Amino acid sequence: MFGSIIRVALSRIDREDSENLAEVMADAVLFGQIVESRMLGVTLPDPAKFPAGVNAALARAMTSAELWKPIVNSLTELLLRDGRVTGAQFATVSECGNTSGGLTTGDRLGRHRLEDDQLKPSSLVARRRKEASQLKHEKELHHG
Amino acid sequence: MIEPLTPSKLERARAAREVATALSLYLSGKIPRAPYLDVRLHHSSRAVSD
């Protein structure tokens, strides 16, 4: 029933920026598999028993699975509860929810940081409306 | 003691895999916009990018 994200992502991927594409796709697939395996309680293999390239990718996926566990859980809860996760919700949770090292992912990406109450979907809609209203007001002032 | 696998646990794990794969691709910057995930249509999963 699941499994279409890879196909759709491949069709929407930025082909102008195809550098490291194979590595990115391999990392994404491996990360997803590690997350699923962990959730099912499957014993994960020891990365040290694999050749260097596989070892590095596997270790990276395992570390990422631990680091991103709260975000994956939040998005999964949202997906199973509502049956969908919008792009705005996905961006908000993924960019603001991981505060490892005292910084959110959004901070590390140089994006504006949201407060906790702004992470709620209803607050997000209200914030977008407020921004649109301010923009409209500024345009009116500019033209007036 | 290992917990038994149930349909809901399998569904949750598969949803988590879908989310994790999308998250990895999104954070890589290879997908221009955040993905839209939907599991409601036709009792099957649809995952598309906005």
pLDDT, tens digit, 9 for 90 and up, residues B1-50: 567 888 889 999 999 999 999 998 888 887 778 888 887 644 444 454 44
Q: Which residue range(s) make up the domain with B28?
A: 7-49
Whole-angstrom CA distances from A131 to A95, A127, A128, A141 are 19, 6, 5, 15
Q: Nearest chain B Cα to A73, which residue?
A: B16
Of A39 and A142, the one with more pLDDT: A39
Instruction: Give chain B's domain count.
Output: 1
Instruction: Determine the distance in angstroms separating the CA of B1 from the nearest CA of chain A, rounded to an integer.
Output: 11
| Sequence ranges of the domains in chain A | 1-67, 86-144
Residues 6+ apart with CB under 8 A from B17: A2, A32, A33, A35, A36
Find which of A85, A92, A108 to mutate to test the B interface (most B CBs within 10 Å of its CB). Answer: A85
Label residue A118 by pLDDT band (50, 70, 90). Answer: very low
Quick check: is B20 in a domain?
Answer: yes
Quick check: is B14 in a domain?
Answer: yes
Share of chain A above pLDDT 70, in %: 58
Whole-angstrom CA distances from A138 to A112, A124, A134 are 20, 21, 6
Quick check: is B38 in a domain?
Answer: yes
Contact A48, B4 (CB under 8 A): no
Q: Could you tell me the two tokens for A96?
A: 């603001």
Quick check: is B19 in a domain?
Answer: yes
Average pLDDT over residues A122-137: 57
Q: Could you tell me the two tokens for B45?
A: 């999963």
Distance CA B23, CA B47 (A): 12
pLDDT at res. A51: 93
Quick check: is B1 in a domain?
Answer: no
- Listed range (A15-19, A40-44, A88-92, A106-110) with the worst mean pLDDT: A106-110
Q: Which helix (H) or strand (E) holds B47?
A: strand B46-49
**Which pLDDT tens digit goes with each residue over A1-53?**
455 666 666 677 766 667 788 888 888 889 999 999 999 998 898 999 999 98
Average pLDDT over residues A62-88: 91
Asked if pLDDT for residue A103 goes beyond 60, the answer is no
* Set of chain B residues whose Cβ sits within 8 Å of the Cβ of A71: 23
Distance CA A61, CA A88 (A): 25
Average pLDDT over residues A105-126: 45
* Set of chain A residues whose Cβ sits within 8 Å of the Cβ of B3: 41
Average pLDDT over residues A77-103: 80
* Set of chain B residues whose Cβ sits within 8 Å of the Cβ of A27: 24, 28
Asked if pLDDT for residue A109 goes beyond 50, the answer is no
CB contact (8 A) between residue A87 and residue B5: no
